[in-house]
Amino acid sequence: MLLAVALLAVPAEAGKKRKKKKQKPPEASSAVEALEAVERSLWAYDTQGAHEALEPLLAEATPEVLTAHARVLEQQRSYGDATADLRKAAEKSPADPAPLVFLGETFLHADDEDAATQAFAEAEARAKARLADSPSDTRALYYLGVAQQRQKKFSAAVETLAKARAKEPDNALIVYQLGTTHAFQRDWTKAVDLLTESISMDSGIAYAYYYRGLAAGQAGRKDLLINDLDRFLFMAPEAPEADRARKVRNAG
């Protein structure tokens, strides 16, 4: 189960046609289920699927919906609109590190590294504040680890994500982030092992194939490099990293 699924939510009958009546706000349980569907689509880079699942919730404008909508916009490369939604989400939920982590990711794809660094630092501060009050908060540990990773604090990120994994050992997203962190550290074999584990838990994380492919190439596993980058390009042909994946794959 993906940890970040807890961020999101939409109605089970969202896809059914209804008579033109004023729609009631979705039931809480249905909203959670829908946001879980959005989350799965986002990690699989199924941008259209995420947009369709989210659409019935857009009128609610909760921090979770704003964050999800921003992530859809980010995948559509509408970076300005995405950052606006993430700032609103961060304001509405001032203790939550998640909107700021995704804000940092958006700035990275928009080639604004200074703004990205600031967003990740603010996310780190929020996560640490939450952990000071609730040391066993796995979600806070996860976002702290990602914020540290993105600030190139790799050793701290590994330690933090390992703590999160100890609390939720079956969480594929935590294992994915651990594997990615080891790839950034150039610990290629460890990265391949962890990313393989995350894929075995959840085959729908597109970037797990991207980072495992790159790590496998460095580890001398050209077969895995080609297979993984092909898989990544199949899932996320419009991702910002797709051009690099094509170049590495063709060179391999």
Task: pLDDT tens for the chain, 252 residues: list them.
Answer: 334 444 333 322 333 333 334 444 555 568 889 999 999 999 999 999 999 999 999 998 999 999 999 999 999 999 999 999 999 999 999 999 999 999 999 999 999 999 999 999 999 999 999 999 999 999 999 999 999 999 999 999 999 999 999 999 999 999 999 999 999 999 999 999 999 999 999 999 999 999 999 999 999 999 999 999 999 999 999 999 999 999 999 997
Return the pLDDT at 62.
95
Return contacts of 137-140, CB within 8 angstroms, 24+ apart.
138/3, 138/164, 138/167, 138/168, 138/171, 139/3, 139/6, 139/98, 140/97
Return the pLDDT at 2.
39
Return the pLDDT at 215.
98
Residue 27 carries which DSSP code?
Answer: P
Is residue 70 within 8 Å of 90, Cβ to Cβ?
A: no
What pTM was computed for the model? Answer: 0.88
Q: Coil, helix or strand for 108? A: helix
What ranges in 134-221 are assigned the alpha helix state H? Answer: 138-150, 154-167, 172-184, 188-201, 206-218
Is residue 11 within 8 Å of 35, Cβ to Cβ?
A: no
Q: Coil, helix or strand for 166? A: helix
CA distances from 131 to 47, 97, 135, 160, 222 (A): 32, 11, 4, 11, 41
pLDDT tens readout for residues 180-212: 999 999 999 999 999 999 999 999 999 999 999
Q: How far apart are CA 123 and CA 143, in angstroms?
A: 8
Return the pLDDT at 28.
54
User: Mean pLDDT in the chain?
Assistant: 90
Query: What sign has the CA pseudo-torsion 148, 144, 113, 191?
Result: positive
Return the pLDDT at 30.
84
Is residue 232 within 8 Å of 209, Cβ to Cβ?
A: yes
Q: Which of 86, 77, 27 is nearest to 57 (CA)?
A: 27
Supply 64's token pair: 């979770």
Return the pLDDT at 242.
97
Q: How far apart are CA 67 and CA 112, in angstroms?
A: 19
What ranges in the chain are assigned the alpha helix state H? Answer: 28-43, 47-54, 63-75, 79-92, 98-109, 113-133, 138-150, 154-167, 172-184, 188-201, 206-218, 222-235, 242-251
